[in-house]
Chain A
């Protein structure tokens, strides 16, 4: 992994960049969240344009390499802010950074600034799915099989496939590579601005681009990033639910005065406190897994309760609150569902 640093002496800069991410989420993305959810091309283009303009798409690359030189912890804080605007766009930012960070610096900087790449984690062996890949011939691996749904891969200029398992490996595949097909696939419930693709592979690759530990680190970043995005979804859901509860009257009083609603709002805050920003998880794969499970479970519970606070109104697309519930559910299943994550965590505990 080339560019991930764990610098802790950048708090002022960190604060500045997190504020910038907050502005991006609140002002540029949140007002267009429904258009992004509907996958309106103009909204998607505009959102990614703003992300790239500020440099969040390659935030982890060193400044000299055309990036922002952000440390991983700061990126996670930024992802949370961006996700409060739109979780799908935050996921695209994570996938782009994780893809570049998985590569050696020379290879990462060779990717043009106008391009959007996505990291695609191959599913763990224990996960039943049609989407699996196999590598043959150790000297010159041939990747065959399919990966689906590969989030954020649709429309990407290239993908960085990370295989986990006993021998992790990283493969760089530019769009247009012979034997590589990236097609649209059945959409997910949420995260719709990070449209999934079905990647079909019959590709000869020059071997792994990074070491096994770097591959594992990129997967840890992905999971910690997923936890950060979940925090952003949960925070947005809580804010929207609170605002609604203060203004909606039932029984002659604002509904926030009903215990049933107060309890739901309080529980949202409790969950938020119980799933702090996953700053340390990024360097510990098992911690990243556990943090991701806790944060995505919390986000789903909070978003589900937020819809409940809204009642019938929350079930309608136009309010944007049910979108958060769909985003949270999709995030909970990616890159692996909780029961698989539990299995992996237990394995790490035994090891």
Chain B
């Protein structure tokens, strides 16, 4: 795609007028967001725009094509570690910074951006488990800076369970075929995961499976799996309609051993953790959609202004009205994702992230976390119960549920806006012979996925109903204590 000379997209303060007020209360927060936006925009203009169409074509011909060089560059510039805790050398960012970054990257190329986004999704469950996996996260941060990126992915969807695994109630009745069986020293994972973004290129996977397939919701558990483990394989990469640069893979787990200290949180904490992860990941998905819409709008506007063949069109009221509607939709989608992200970062998780306990743990040298005795202590039931207690004191199910409601709203609205704006942009450009047609066609294909992944828009709206209309409280937080039976399943 052509680079946009002198990117004229709105600055953060123009995009979110209310930040001017917010700055008076938390100047540092606003400054960090501004810096992230600027860095992401520069990276997108310099590294993504120019290759977007080419990578899309290559992956159409060969779905296993992957642009490692770009990921190396992005890793060196902090795009693989900004979500990692500052204690391991990461950026310590949460949902709002991630969302701002994703809008910028997606305005250039949603497929390439998704590689970084899916990596962040893979990291997310680990953030809920205190310092236990800081050793892996530290390696990921170091590897990124060295230019030898180590990607993560989150493996949730199964061939017979897509929407089901995104909702606690549906999960209870889902056809789950995967199974994490208790074995001495850990768990043995078997089953197939499908449509896993980054699945085929990730070094580490956060994998969700039930310990007791008869009770998937109660025993849904997250495991951190090394992709070099025996029994793990990538069955294939899907041929997608859009967002092709990021491979969606089918993953096969054939008796993959995961040691006890790579269980993320406790056995049975997976369903609640999924809700927290979704509350954090859906604002960035709303931002992905907003970025796609903005990318289409900006390209269309550039064509209308600069291409002699489009001369006169901007004077047409029909075109002006459509452009105004596009600008209106993009603005509202952006406010929705930022509302949701700030709600999560500040209102729901603010106390947890500012906890002196976590900051204190960061002072402990990273090597300590790798010592066997320390790891035994960290995985002891009492320690894990203490962590659950910490989360319960730092936030509440009510706060997480409200965040999830706003996040789902932002995701569903954003998905529809991406589809609507790319549809409208193509309508104005028509079947022009200009290069802008190929760019808009790509963004239109990319947009559709925003209505599907991270839960279909229909499921997201059901969650908006439950959280914001019916004012239900969802069981996101782990119980303070859990007991585990002899098979390793929570009871």
A interface residues, Cβ below 8 angstroms from B: 127-131, 146, 148-149, 185-186, 188-189, 198, 249-253, 258, 260-261, 300, 304, 307-308, 311-318, 322, 325-326, 329, 332-334, 336-340, 342-343
Contact = CB atoms under 8 A, between A and B. Distances in A.
B433 A338 contact: no
Given A128-B313, A189-B441, A339-B318, A304 B419 contact: yes
A315 B449 contact: yes
Contacts of A129: 309, 430-433
Contact of A252 (B173, B444, B448, B461): B173
Contact of A186 (B173, B423, B438, B448): B438
Given A251-B173, A260-B462, A337 B240 contact: no
B430 A340 contact: yes
Contacts of A315: 240-242, 448-449, 452
A329 B239 contact: no
Given A129-B431, A311-B163, A251 B170 contact: yes
Of B169, B174, B433, B457, most buried by chain A (CB within 10 Å of CB) is B433
Contacts of A312: 157, 162, 194-195, 452-453
Contact of A316 (B241, B431, B438): B241
B433 A128 contact: no
Contacts of A186: 433, 435, 437-438
Given A128-B309, A149-B431, A250 B162 contact: yes
A250 B161 contact: yes
B380 interface: no
B240 A333 contact: no
B434 interface: yes
Nearest to B167: A251
Contacts of A329: 423, 426, 444
A171 B406 CA distance: 59
7 contacts: A128-B310, A249-B175, A250-B163, A308-B452, A317-B239, A317-B241, A333-B427
Contacts of B175: 249, 252
Interface of B: 157, 160-164, 167, 169-170, 173-175, 194-195, 238-242, 307, 309-313, 318-319, 322, 419, 423, 426-428, 430-435, 437-438, 441, 444-445, 448-449, 451-453, 456-459, 461-462
Contacts of B241: 315-317, 322, 325-326
A250 B170 contact: yes
A307 B239 CA distance: 15
Nearest to A321: B241
B200 to A, nearest CB: 15
A131 B318 contact: no
B19 to A, nearest CB: 34
A311 B427 contact: no
A312 B194 CA distance: 9
B93 to A, nearest CB: 28
A129 B163 CA distance: 43
Given A317-B241, A322-B241, A307 B448 contact: yes
B240 A317 contact: yes
B451 A308 contact: yes
Contact of A250 (B174, B448, B453): B174
A323 B310 CA distance: 29
Given A129-B432, A315-B240, 6 more contacts: A250-B174, A308-B456, A312-B157, A312-B194, A338-B427, A342-B318
A337 B427 contact: yes
Given A311-B456, A325-B448, A332 B427 contact: yes
B188 to A, nearest CB: 27
Given A130-B309, A130-B433, A316-B241, A339 B427 contact: yes
Given A249-B160, A315-B448, A333-B426, A128 B173 contact: no
8 nearest A-B residue pairs (beta carbon): A252-B173, A260-B458, A317-B239, A130-B433, A322-B241, A337-B430, A251-B170, A148-B433
Given A128-B309, A308-B452, A311-B456, A333 B430 contact: yes
A130 B445 CA distance: 24
Contacts of B240: 315-317
Contacts of B431: 129, 149, 188, 333-334, 337
B244 to A, nearest CB: 10
Given A250-B163, A339-B322, A304 B448 contact: yes
Nearest to B243: A315
Contact of A149 (B173, B239, B433): B433
Contact of A185 (B162, B309, B433): B433
